[in-house]
Structure 1
């Protein structure tokens, strides 16, 4: 159990579930003895069965209520169990903090999607400690007196659909196209169905509105930003012979294997370059070249890596990562896979080096970056161009969307 808890803290929910699944499959039973029956409620990352049964969006659709005559709202966010430092909760926390500063009343409600057991108190402690949020966390069963509620993942969308409130406006905070987290099967179809629930979508970036609109879902989006004060270089940039890799082996959409293969090719051509992995602790992985394992880092530690590294390999096979704009502010060249999921959000930005999601092309583009003349001077130029890339306009836009959809004021 201690190992599982450690995995959850360091690698997140999905990695923990994979280890549990692997452990169960490895259990050997005596010859002739029946193996235990599979408990359907234990299928990893699923809504509660009673919520699935109740959420009849076909015959009993959600009807958007009348607009409210108020401009300070009670806004609820339904969250799955919380881990420290997760990208999804980091983004949610940004907007929660801003909405709170504007006079709205914010509350989290914890929804257990049959993953890691967690109490509302434990979740609140993590929000306070890891996300610097002073927002109450309650059990979903305590839900009441809210004007607005956000689903924050496909499992929580089922709970939100079933919440009752005469004037309750339901939104969906969409940070990725979650069906493709799975193979085409039951979870894929159940996640896909949530875009038909009738909620208004607010999405991370411009790629997702087109995806969810295929299901008839209305949506608007916010642009990504960066924490300028953290990632802006504090002194003239002096690059080392170093590149970085956003290594998330337990998050399949981050293309870990593609990255390792590309880096092996790159390292053979440029053995003088140090390669630093960050994003996950890598002690259990046999990597076919010398590298430095930095594990999970805080923002200040990330800024140090970005300032020293010439380039960072950051792969995003679904919605784009938060990293590219942070890297540009820091004067580090992002090398990324091309595709609408990235270019629709970041644009055909000439400061980002796009490559095919293929090891040889990724390695070639990394080599071109490190072979550039006057690398440190170029890094300074990039950094200066992105010093206005803050989150502030996105905070304002999200509040404007909520007020536009919910209030007459």
Structure 2
């Protein structure tokens, strides 16, 4: 200590830092102290720039964009060459699963597909293709990177706002361009640069296909365009009622790093729910998470059949999403689970179901709705499961194929 005193101001600074570290250690534990250290390093090295999803060269500008279209249309007997621009999918990704269902349908219709992968960080294309082949084995499309350009197709479909920019900057040859929109993606960000860049993609002139009325309403209201609209589906061949069994838990899909999934609100609601229902198991899947102030059963990433088994053990589930209906909502219902969802007028347009409890997006409202759903007397689980439309994704797939063919061949 005498050495530190002799150092004067420097010694005081060391003591101050040590005192703060001790307070954090007591209040937040070793994990909290480690997180603060990582955050300090993150800020000091400017790592925030790594979160930018595009290089400057890949950013298009609707005010000067002038993309060429084919001079002629092919005759209807010729298969269409269709490109799809997407980010490399992680195993089991829900958004990619929906998109790749459309690819499968396009291939079944006799057309040829190429997946153009956009990876901001230049990952290994062979490893990325291996993930696609393992998790989506029915997709036969060729897999390419976007680095060499997007060419050799009659039409190309962007699958996200970043991919729309990449299509506009790397797919400059004559082709038809479309945009499969699963969320109004500017809402992913605070008002700022990324919000503006995401919003601008809807002005690129691509033919827009909105998944559900919630997205379509936002496009009409915020941008002033009227998109083609298709509907949600649910894979009821996988998500279904199993044999009758006791149900004693609640379930949450956890994605802490994806703000639109409402993880923070959900965990605050579950903390309150646990206080009033300490006997109920709380199941968490998706990302494995720690430091929760209530006990959980962590499942991590699950295959669809495993997930259906989990749903069939639960009475109620939280389905949180702020930019479109979450696919897990109908998947839970199809397995006989009562669902609590964050309320929004546009979301109700896509899902009319008496077994969904819409709750204000606040910890208390969500916890109370979850408690009511859990405490309701046992009802016919088959009634909950049968409330889900049994058409699966066939209508959405048929719509996308029809729109693609109409765009390429002409009406």
TM-score tier after normalising by the smaller chain length: 0.7 to 0.9
2:309 matched to which residue of 1? 304
Alpha-carbon distance in structure 1 between the residues aligned to 2:241 and 2:263: 28
**Residue deviations 1:156-195, cap 9 Å, x none?**
11121122222x1111111112222222221111111111
Alpha-carbon distance in structure 2 between the residues aligned to 1:269 and 1:401: 50
Contact 1:240 1:308 in 2 (8 A): yes
1:224-235 aligned at under 5 Å gives the runs: 224-235=232-243
Shift of 1:73: 1.0
Match of 2:205 among 198, 210, 213: 198
1:164 matched to which residue of 2? 172
Alpha-carbon distance in structure 1 between the residues aligned to 2:382 and 2:350: 24
Task: Flag the 1:61–1:24 CA change in 2: closer, same or farther, 3 A.
Answer: farther
**Deviates further, 326-335 or 75-84:** 75-84
1:137 matched to which residue of 2? 143
Asked if residue 265 in structure 1 is aligned to residue 272 in structure 2, the reply is yes
Match of 1:118 among 123, 127, 130: 123
Task: Flag the 1:60–1:268 CA change in 2: closer, same or farther, 3 A.
Answer: closer
Match of 2:246 among 239, 245, 258: 239
Task: Flag the 1:135–1:25 CA change in 2: closer, same or farther, 3 A.
Answer: farther
Shift of 1:332: 0.6
Contact 1:123 1:137 in 2 (8 A): no
SS of the equivalent of 2:51 reads coil
Contact 2:287 2:300 in 1 (8 A): yes
2:328 matched to which residue of 1? 323
Task: Flag the 1:266–1:56 CA change in 2: closer, same or farther, 3 A.
Answer: closer
1:367 matched to which residue of 2? 371
Contact 1:67 1:408 in 2 (8 A): no
Contact 2:150 2:167 in 1 (8 A): no
Alpha-carbon distance in structure 2 between the residues aligned to 1:135 and 1:254: 30
Task: Flag the 1:362–1:27 CA change in 2: closer, same or farther, 3 A.
Answer: closer
Task: Flag the 1:351–1:63 CA change in 2: closer, same or farther, 3 A.
Answer: farther
Alpha-carbon distance in structure 2 between the residues aligned to 1:230 and 1:137: 27
Alpha-carbon distance in structure 2 between the residues aligned to 1:278 and 1:130: 18
**Residue deviations 1:292-314, cap 9 Å, x none?**
11111110111011111111111
Q: Which structure has the bigger radius of gyration?
A: 2
Asked if residue 358 in structure 1 is aligned to residue 366 in structure 2, the reply is no
Task: Flag the 1:405–1:255 CA change in 2: closer, same or farther, 3 A.
Answer: same
SS of the equivalent of 2:284 reads strand
Shift of 1:262: 1.1
Alpha-carbon distance in structure 2 between the residues aligned to 1:65 and 1:210: 31
Shift of 1:387: 5.8
SS of the equivalent of 1:401 reads helix
Please tell me the root mean square deviation across aligned C-alpha atoms, in Å.
2.5
Task: Flag the 1:306–1:70 CA change in 2: closer, same or farther, 3 A.
Answer: farther
1:273-292 aligned at under 5 Å gives the runs: 273-282=280-289, 285-292=290-297
Alpha-carbon distance in structure 1 between the residues aligned to 2:188 and 2:335: 30
Task: Flag the 1:225–1:139 CA change in 2: closer, same or farther, 3 A.
Answer: same
**Residue deviations 1:264-283, cap 9 Å, x none?**
1111111121111111112x
2:57 matched to which residue of 1? 50
Shift of 1:39: 8.9
1:400 matched to which residue of 2? 402
**Residue deviations 1:108-145, cap 9 Å, x none?**
112232x4x31332221111012223321112215322
Alpha-carbon distance in structure 1 between the residues aligned to 2:212 and 2:193: 27
SS of the equivalent of 1:231 reads coil
Gaps (5+ residues) in structure 1? 1-18, 29-34
Asked if residue 106 in structure 1 is aligned to residue 117 in structure 2, the reply is no
Contact 2:213 2:350 in 1 (8 A): yes
1:335-350 aligned at under 5 Å gives the runs: 335-347=340-352, 349-350=353-354
Alpha-carbon distance in structure 1 between the residues aligned to 2:257 and 2:208: 27
**Residue deviations 1:185-221, cap 9 Å, x none?**
2111111111111111112211112222332444112
Scaled by the length of structure 1, what TM-score is found? 0.84
1:187-226 aligned at under 5 Å gives the runs: 187-213=194-220, 214-226=222-234
Alpha-carbon distance in structure 2 between the residues aligned to 1:75 and 1:357: 40
Task: Flag the 1:64–1:198 CA change in 2: closer, same or farther, 3 A.
Answer: farther
Match of 2:84 among 73, 77, 85: 77
Shift of 1:341: 4.2
Gaps (5+ residues) in structure 2? 1-33
Contact 1:198 1:217 in 2 (8 A): no
Contact 2:251 2:282 in 1 (8 A): yes
Matched residues, number: 372
1:385 matched to which residue of 2? 387
